[in-house]
Amino acid sequence: METNTFPMGESVYQERLPNGLQVVLLPKPGFAQTFVTFSTHYGSIDRVFRTSASKDYTTVPDGIAHFLEHKMFESEAGDVFPEFSRYGASANAFTTFDLTSYLFSCTDNLHENLDLLLNFVQDPYFTDANVEKEKGIIGQEIQMYNDNPDARVFYELLKALYHEHPVRIEIAGTVESISHITKETLYECYDTFYHPGNMVLMAVGGFDPETVMGWIKDNQGKKTFKPIPVIDRKAFSEPPTVYAPEVTVNLAVSQPKCLIAWKDAVNEMSGPELLRRELALGVALDALFGRSSSAYQELIDEGLIDQGFSWEFERAETYGFAVIGGNTPDPRRLTDRVQQVIDEALQNGIGEAEFERCRKKALGRFLTTLDSPGYIARGYISYLFRGAQLLDTSTVLGEITVDEANREFRAYFDPSRRAVSIVRS
């Protein structure tokens, strides 16, 4: 077991087991809860891949990673959720563009819950009947997302930003695409991406790391696995420009919703570089559009935004985008005003005092999240799969300067990479 201690005092215990499973333990003494995630580096964008066992690429139906996530909760004995609740835990799972994660939190019976989690995720049970039945359930979920204005405005934005990259496809797929899913395709994806060699178990909370590592080794030692597959995901060819500069969808909403976004022209990025770009541009956007910015105050005063107005910068291994927006009575005017603020910053730069204030705020906010086992467990894994270290955040935030952020900002906000998504009645 390897131990790493970070400047904020957190210690991380890591070990790669013989079957390839990476175990990460982050004890938080004094905490009542423990939060555990069991995650595979496999999400909705992993749709064309091959392993050492096959020469040709396989293309799987859109939405299959999410479909697999749903089906994992069914064992031969029935639904797994009640078993967690018998041990006082609440379990859940989620699928993103680039990972699938199964998780629980508990304040008691950690050993039992840990075994449950490892066992159900490592015991797939797909039948023709249960796969068919799930299509109805997920079909309803897809319909729900389609009807949800906040989900819709975001998905339509990604469709506008990207030509080819599968981040433009809804995570859950479509009713048509999931109709092609069979138990065979599910097993194929499972065998490729759910091998322990592609997975990470992470626990954060009030436990003793030696004891918990022992439990995990006991559990894994009793099982046999095939050799670790080498996964080759087919590369994406995505041009730097956007697919459509503006898209509008009509849905019954009491107020229009409007998101303004810029895609990242750099297609491949990982590790420290990715974290640094996310943090530098994040602080820059907060300085320009955060609650304490003059733009935010003006837009509120003009009645153009409400308190739901926000910004985000997300950077993954093969895609990245900055988004700004929320509810507005006038999407066109909001877009113009946001662009004005960007233009002004492109011309004159972001001010040092503003930047410093937001940099310190980001640092404080990061330290605060370290008090939350659930946040750490989810955030750590997300960065780990992107080759980065969540716990470097405070160090990087301590290093970035307003000059670096301005350089990043100027290179990033190009009009040819902007798209606007609007949902209105």
Number of chain positions touching a second copy (CB under 8 A) = 44
70 touches a second copy by CB under 8 A = no
Q: Quick one: angle between helices 128-147 and 149-161, nearest 10?
A: 90
Considering the complex, what minimum distance in angstroms separates the CB of residue 291 from a second copy?
8
Say if CB 194 and CB 200 are below 8 A apart.
no
What Cα–Cα distance (Å) separates residue 181 from each residue in 71, 110, 174?
Answer: 12, 35, 11
371 touches a second copy by CB under 8 A = yes
Residues whose CB falls within 8 Å of the CB of residue 82, separated by 6 or more in sequence, listed in order: none
φ and ψ at residue 347, rounded to 5 degrees: -80, -50
Q: Exactly one of 306, 336, 344, 403 binds a second copy (CB under 8 A); which one? A: 306
Per-residue binding string, a second copy, 156-195, x by CB under 8 A, is ----------------------------------------
Q: Exactly one of 3, 52, 108, 273 binds a second copy (CB under 8 A); which one? A: 108
Determine how many CB atoms are found less than 10 A away from the CB of residue 162: 22
Per-residue binding string, a second copy, 191-230, x by CB under 8 A, is ----------------------------------------
Looking at 69, 134, 156, 278, which residue is catalytic? 69
279 touches a second copy by CB under 8 A = no
Residue with tokens 């559990």: 219
Strand extents, DSSP E, 134-271: 199-205, 231-233, 246-250, 257-263
DSSP 243: S
Nearest 5°: CA angle at 400, between 395 and 404? 155
For the chain, percent helix, then strand, then coil, each to nearest 5?
45, 20, 35
Closest CA relative to residue 243, chosen from 145, 306, 165, 160: 160
Largest CA distance in the chain: 64
Half-sphere exposure of 134 (CA within 13 A, CB side): 26
Considering the complex, what minimum distance in angstroms separates the CB of residue 366 from a second copy?
9
Q: Is 69 a catalytic residue?
A: yes
Q: Exactly one of 111, 217, 333, 357 binds a second copy (CB under 8 A); which one? A: 357
Q: Exactly one of 3, 4, 54, 90 binds a second copy (CB under 8 A); which one? A: 90
370 touches a second copy by CB under 8 A = yes
Instruction: Pick between residue 136 and residue 224 the one whose CB is nearest to a second copy.
Output: 136
Instruction: Pick between residue 179 and residue 307 the one whose CB is nearest to a second copy.
Output: 307
Q: Exactly one of 85, 182, 340, 401 binds a second copy (CB under 8 A); which one? A: 85
Considering the complex, what minimum distance in angstroms separates the CB of residue 102 from a second copy?
17
What's the CA gap between 192 and 235, in Å, rounded? 17
Active site residues: 69
Q: Which residues bind a second copy (CB under 8 A)?
A: 8-9, 28-33, 81-82, 85-86, 88-90, 105-108, 140, 144, 147, 149, 251-255, 292, 303, 306, 357, 360-361, 363-365, 367-368, 370-373, 425
